[in-house]
Amino acid sequence: MRRATRWSLVAWLYCSAVGAGASTTGCVPDLPPDGVTGTASAAICGDGYVDLAAGEQCDPGANPGWGAGNVCNSKCQVECGDGGFLWPVNNHCYQAMSNAADLDPGAVSQCNNGGHVVTFGSEAEFGAVAWANDIGPFWVGLTTAASRPYVSEESFEPGWSATCPGCYAYTPDPTVPLRPWVGAWGDAGEDAAASYEQCVAAYSSPGTYWCQYPCYGLPSTRVVCEREPIGEQYTQCDAGVCVNLVVTQGRKHYLYIDTPTAPEDAEAQCTLGGGMLVVFESPEEREQLWKQLRMLTEPPARFWIGLHQVQNQTTGMPEWLWDDGTSAEGSTAHPSEWGDNEPSEPGATSRAYVRHIPQGIDDTLARNDEAEDLLPFVCQFPGPGVDTPSALAP
């Protein structure tokens, strides 16, 4: 099972032009509007909780040291600085630096002040950044060594491998390795580049593609830094931890329950509250949820999600279905969430889970091969609030 054909930059620009809240097949769902709706009050700003409904984009909490290595100003708004680009789907800042550099320590050092070398989880994110930073080749935060797959420089983000359906790289065929860089090495380019630990560069002009690239040595490559908003978008509530996300703000919210639970019981509890196990409609939704859960005192390593296996009534063959009724395959499917060499057939479970394995190729992606009987879980509910459904309150 493989991803459908990737979006072009033109398609991404079309989706953006359609506007916030529009329903367009193939577009990231419920894109937040450009700018802010509402104004965060002084009483809210500074408590460490990013109140998205009140218009906050960030909130470092008390004594934040505004502007010291972060992108949050004293009104709890994200400021990207000169030449910075704010992507409203995640409120991250992407900024092209003035100097080219080797990846490490050059590029890494340039981005260390509250950020990291840019990483990408989806076609939409890469399209936005490449279009806003038309600077030729720039580093992507993926590295590899020997025969290992590419791992992400940023924790809680997948790397990439040709055997990982849910991993992302900008390549025409995700089942084959990235093209080698030739450039100034001429005909000997592939052999010469192979002597270096391989990193990844993105070309946005002319043409757009990713390729293998020497991690150090000439020629140096441009740097795009990614900085993320500070603050928590979750709060403790009666049944567990209630979460809001930028990408789905106003349309749905989430409840994390840390009690180890059998998959059928987790599904029943979400249904009892008027929701379902979480369905990832975009990679941004999965990434943003993981990044909130990682800030908990005891963050989960795995949890059940709303992806299950059923028997197709027409073919009699097993197929994977999201709990909202959307198939996990085909042109109308949500973006693939499967990890390396997944789904496993036959697997250990007919209910998928996601896992966090630090520096894993498929970090945070879905698996069904070795789940434990009992795992925590995340429910999703319609609407903008963070209140616990009364049926789930103790």
Out of 278-287, 361-370, 382-391, give the one with best mean pLDDT.
278-287
The partner residues of 252 in beta bridges, in order of sequence, read 382
Residue 20 pLDDT level (bands cut at 50, 70, 90)? very low
Q: Is the pLDDT of residue 343 over 70?
A: yes
Q: Which residues contact 188 (CB under 8 A, 6 or more apart)?
A: none
Q: Is the pLDDT of residue 214 over 50?
A: yes
> Would strands 375-382 and 252-261 be described as parallel, antiparallel, or unpaired?
antiparallel
Residue 191 pLDDT level (bands cut at 50, 70, 90)? low
Q: What's the mean pLDDT in 85-89?
A: 94
Does residue 384 have a cis peptide bond before it, meaning omega lies within 30 degrees of 0? no
State pTM to two decimals.
0.83
Direct distance between the N- and C-terminal alpha carbons of the chain, in angstroms, rounded to an integer? 41
Q: Is the pLDDT of residue 57 over 60?
A: yes
Query: How far, in whole angstroms, is CA 104 from its chain's centroid?
Result: 23
d(CA 6, CA 68): 38
Question: Can you give the pLDDT at residue 182?
Answer: 66
The rounded mean pLDDT for the chain is 79
d(CA 112, CA 93): 14
Residue 345 per-residue DSSP state: S
Task: For residue range 244-285, list pLDDT tens digits in order.
Answer: 999 999 999 999 999 999 999 999 999 999 999 999 999 999
How large is the C-alpha radius of gyration of the chain?
21
Decide if 308 contacts 350 (C-beta within 8 A). Answer: yes
Question: Can you give the pLDDT at residue 133?
Answer: 67
Question: Can you give the pLDDT at residue 100?
Answer: 81
Question: Can you give the pLDDT at residue 148?
Answer: 74
